Amino acid sequence: MYDGHFEIDNLSTDDAKRQADMLAWHPIMFQVARVLSSTGILKEVKVGRKNGGTPETISEKLSIPLYGVKILLEVGLSIGLTKLMRENTYTISKMGYFWLLDKQIQINMDYVHHVCYKGMYHLEEAILTNKPAGLKELGPWEKIYEGLSLLDEPIKKAWFDFDHYYSDIAFKKIFPEIFKNNPKMIMDVGGNTGKFSIACCKYNEDVKLTIVDLAGQWNRAKKNIEELGLSDRISGHVMDVLIDDPVYPGNADVIWMSQFLDCFSEEEIVHVLSNVSKSMNENSALYILELYWDRQDHPVPAYCLHGTSIYFTAMANGNSKMYHSGDMRKCVEKAGLKVVDDIDVENDYHTLYRCELA
Ligand SMILES: C[S@@+](CC[C@H](N)C(=O)[O-])C[C@H]1O[C@@H](n2cnc3c(N)ncnc32)[C@H](O)[C@@H]1O
């Protein structure tokens, strides 16, 4: 497990200075990498990888000015996406292949560029005010959730692709656990486009579900559910879970919260959990599916989750993040619940907490 608290600082002084110097250029280098991809230049380098390609041939083939092709290929050397075979002749690196072809990296790149990049200019203001100061780059909302269904393209696609990519991988693996006591009714809190609820209906032919979410998201989910003929099995409960006395549907055997509690501050999480616990009895279970930065088996996923945290700071709400598992556990306990099972989802970044009334 990776836990930044206990790391030893074993970089040499020279390497530490070099890495700090490189960090200053990361935002520019990210754009170089992205444009190498979006213009098709990197793909062209891949196609001609055996003999290598010159800026001149690539410029002519793609009708992109020679200056632009040449500068991107040169800078690509510094960021490790291109390699020189001989003078003025480039090929693709191993890292270049992943940048071009790996689905997860594409999704992360599009999310960082379309959803986060412009807003990050306002990070300092967000930190000082506890407000998502970068969100004004996307729309006139207090929090991103009010505007999710109204985002312009390709921003909307990048947001939903990112969200779905990570939850979709986990859903398939956790169904045996969720359905082990044969639940008749599942409450999907923060159910978004209805993907989880729809997948549940396909997995088990008897289960019924209620999605609790904001109006914009429920209206979109409802459309998907109607198109699939599942309206008699999945209903909606439109509600802002942050209101003072929220009333949740009372008949759920399982309450499901996937990538949901990271949308709230710790105080808000306790508020949400305390209120939802009022709808529970000694037989009901609450499942929390989250990605915790301390529960990753490599520093890179933890790095990605820390980046995602900053999306919450500058773009989403100004007060939430991807949590440390211990902090989430404390919130669960403060809300009068207990974690009875703590499951690492296999080959995945997620952790599943099964919680019951304390
Ligand atoms: C990150 S998405 C998670 C979607 C889905 N559960 C998944 O795993 O992919 C968070 C969801 O929580 C909803 N949400 C955020 N704030 C909310 C609030 N105050 N009340 C109700 N729902 C809220 C959003 O509308 C969104 O659908």
Contact 231, 199 (CB under 8 A): no
Q: Separation of 171 CA from ligand 1 center, angstroms?
A: 16
pLDDT value at residue 2:
57
Residues 85 and 178 in one domain: no
**110 within domain boundaries:** no
Q: Work out the mean pLDDT of the chain and round it to a whole number.
A: 95
Residues 173 and 75 in one domain: no
Q: At 221, which amino acid appears?
A: A
pLDDT value at residue 3:
56
**Single residue among 101, 132, 160 that ends a domain in this structure:** 101
**Single residue among 101, 118, 151 that ends a domain in this structure:** 101
Confirm or reject: Cβ of 263 under 6 Å from ligand 1.
Answer: yes
**240 within domain boundaries:** yes
Residues 48 and 192 in one domain: no
Q: Separation of 190 CA from ligand 1 center, angstroms?
A: 4
Residue 113's CB is within 10 A of a number of other CB atoms, namely 18
- Shortest-distance Cα residue to atom 11 of ligand 1: 190
**77 within domain boundaries:** yes
**Count of the separate structural domains present in the chain:** 2
From edge to edge, which strands make up the β-sheet containing 185-189?
234-238, 208-213, 185-189, 254-258, 285-290, 351-357, 337-344
pLDDT value at residue 6:
65
Residue 162 has pLDDT above 90, yes or no: yes
Q: Separation of 245 CA from ligand 1 center, angstroms?
A: 18
Confirm or reject: Cβ of 275 under 6 Å from ligand 1.
Answer: no
Assign 3-state DSSP to the chain and report helix, strand, coil percentages, each to 5: 55, 15, 30
**353 within domain boundaries:** yes
Contact 175, 352 (CB under 8 A): no
Confirm or reject: Cβ of 319 under 6 Å from ligand 1.
Answer: no
Question: Which of 168, 173, 213, 218 has most ligand 1 atoms within 8 Å of its beta carbon, as the pocket-test mutant?
Answer: 213
Residues 215 and 332 in one domain: yes
Which pLDDT tens digit goes with each residue over 5-38? 566 888 999 999 999 999 999 999 999 999 999 9
The stretch 318-346 carries a mean pLDDT of 97
Determine the atom of ligand 1 nearest the C-alpha atom of 242.
19
pLDDT value at residue 5:
56
**60 within domain boundaries:** yes
Alpha-carbon distance of 168 to 30, in angstroms, equals 27
Residues 207 and 345 in one domain: yes
Residues 232 and 334 in one domain: yes
Residue 168 has pLDDT above 90, yes or no: no
Contact 229, 198 (CB under 8 A): no
Residues 173 and 268 in one domain: yes
Q: Separation of 174 CA from ligand 1 center, angstroms?
A: 19
pLDDT value at residue 260:
97
Question: Which of 156, 260, 309 has most ligand 1 atoms within 8 Å of its beta carbon, as the pocket-test mutant?
Answer: 260
- Write down the H helix ranges in 24-102: 26-38, 41-47, 55-62, 66-79, 94-101
Residues 81 and 215 in one domain: no
The domain that contains 28 carries what CATH number?
Answer: 1.10.10.10
Which pLDDT tens digit goes with each residue over 114-125? 999 999 999 999
**278 within domain boundaries:** yes
- Shortest-distance Cα residue to atom 10 of ligand 1: 260
Which pLDDT tens digit goes with each residue over 123-149? 999 999 999 999 999 999 999 999 999
pLDDT value at residue 348:
85
Confirm or reject: Cβ of 145 under 6 Å from ligand 1.
Answer: yes
pLDDT value at residue 1:
53
Q: Which two tokens stand for residue 73?
A: 């290929």
Beta strands in the chain (DSSP E): 82-86, 89-92, 185-189, 208-213, 234-238, 254-258, 285-290, 337-344, 351-357
Confirm or reject: Cβ of 242 under 6 Å from ligand 1.
Answer: yes
Residues 177 and 326 in one domain: yes
pLDDT value at residue 239:
97
pTM of the model: 0.94
pLDDT higher at 48 or 324: 324
Residue 332 has pLDDT above 60, yes or no: yes
Confirm or reject: Cβ of 340 under 6 Å from ligand 1.
Answer: no
Alpha-carbon distance of 75 to 64, in angstroms, equals 17
Q: Separation of 111 CA from ligand 1 center, angstroms?
A: 17
**155 within domain boundaries:** no
The domain that contains 330 carries what CATH number?
Answer: 3.40.50.150
Q: Separation of 73 CA from ligand 1 center, angstroms?
A: 41
- Shortest-distance Cα residue to atom 20 of ligand 1: 240
Q: Separation of 259 CA from ligand 1 center, angstroms?
A: 8
Q: Which two tokens stand for residue 37?
A: 């991809």
CA 352 to chain centre: 16
Q: Structural domain of residue 68, as residue ranges?
A: 4-101
For residue 244, give every residue at least 6 positions away whose Cβ sits within 8 Å of its Cβ, in sequence order, or none: none
Residues 97 and 174 in one domain: no
Residues 95 and 174 in one domain: no
Q: How far is CA 173 from CA 30, 307, 345, 356, in A?
A: 33, 25, 7, 21
Residues 208 and 341 in one domain: yes
**Single residue among 101, 122, 147 that ends a domain in this structure:** 101
pLDDT value at residue 253:
97
**207 within domain boundaries:** yes
Residue 335 has pLDDT above 80, yes or no: yes
Confirm or reject: Cβ of 167 under 6 Å from ligand 1.
Answer: yes
SS3 labels along 297-319: CCHHHHHHHHHHHHHHHHHHCCC
pLDDT value at residue 123:
98
Q: Separation of 309 CA from ligand 1 center, angstroms?
A: 16
